[in-house]
Amino acid sequence: MIRAIAIDDEPAALEVLTRYAEKIPFLELKKVFYSAAEALRYLQEADLDLVFIDIQMPDMLGTDLARLLQNRNLALVFTTAFTEYAVEGFTLQALDYLLKPFDFARFLQTCNRALERMGRKKGEGASIFVKEGYDWVRVHLDEVNYIQSDTNLLFIYEKKRRITTRMTLSEMLTILPEDRFVRVHKSYIVALQAVEKIERHQLTIAGVLIPLASTYRETVEKTLLGMKK
């Protein structure tokens, strides 16, 4: 469970965050704050994993608050309507930068990135959650062989099961760790460790032939050969 708070001086923005958070089974939004200073007092003693921070607030800029939290073991996500703070946000090692107005799918991507980060820090196998029908399903990234796209549906092939979720490949790529997964075709992402054979126009994974598009071949070969050195 990810324990989080949200800080924003706009009630409507906090209402959206609260509504989205209620839909995610692995996220507990413990409190919301309209004041950065009030949130800072709470953060002195609270045991949290994630903080959603607006940037332009009357009592303190969100970026200034983030600097005060840099020595804490916290993931920071900026939520703002202003693009000009993006570079500064990532300089402060923010986990993500949500540009208002953002939809639930984008919010879920961020929360899955936070979940994956928590798993790595705890030495656990990394995992994410996806919606399959009406249910939330945990995907263990160590078990994934490849992911196939069919319009807005993704088929996630683990070693022993297939999971179907409504998402695009581009959305999935924003969640997956870049050092473990790579796109090889307009319709496929593969787990690098699962690749058994590289041919000119295809890869072999668990006996399945995966098409390798020419536009991705150089990157794929360099990445895989680099892994083998």
Query: Where are the extended beta strands (E) located within 13-143?
Result: 27-33, 50-54, 75-80, 96-99, 127-132, 135-140
For tokens 């879920």, the residue is 108
Residue 188's pLDDT is what?
97
Contacting residues for 7 by C-beta, under 8 A, at least 6 apart:
32, 33, 34, 35, 36, 39, 51, 52, 53, 54, 57, 62, 65
| 172-213 pLDDT tens trace | 988 888 888 999 999 999 999 999 999 989 999 999 999 999
Q: Which domains does the chain have, with CATH numbers?
A: 2-121 (3.40.50.2300), 127-228 (2.40.50.1020)
Cis previous bond, 25, omega within 30: no
pLDDT single digits (tens) 91-107: 788 889 999 999 998 99
> 3-state DSSP call for residue 89?
helix
Query: pLDDT of 44-91, one tens digit each?
Result: 888 899 999 999 899 888 889 988 888 788 899 999 887 776 667 667
Residues in contact with 31: Cβ distance below 8 Å, sequence separation at least 6, in sequence order: 5, 42
Judged by phi (left if over 0) then psi (alpha if -120 to 50, else beta), residue 133 lies in: left
What is the model's pLDDT at position 229? 44
Q: 54 Cβ partners below 8 Å, 6+ apart?
A: 7, 8, 9, 10, 13, 62, 78, 79, 80
From 29, 33, 22, select the one nearest 50 (Cα to Cα): 29
Q: For tokens 């088929």, name the residue.
A: 155
Tens digit of each residue's pLDDT (9 = 90 or more) over 14-52: 999 999 999 998 999 999 999 999 999 999 888 899 999
Per-residue pLDDT tens for 137-172? 999 999 999 999 998 899 999 999 999 999 889 889
For residue 125, name the pLDDT band (cuts at 50, 70, 90).
low
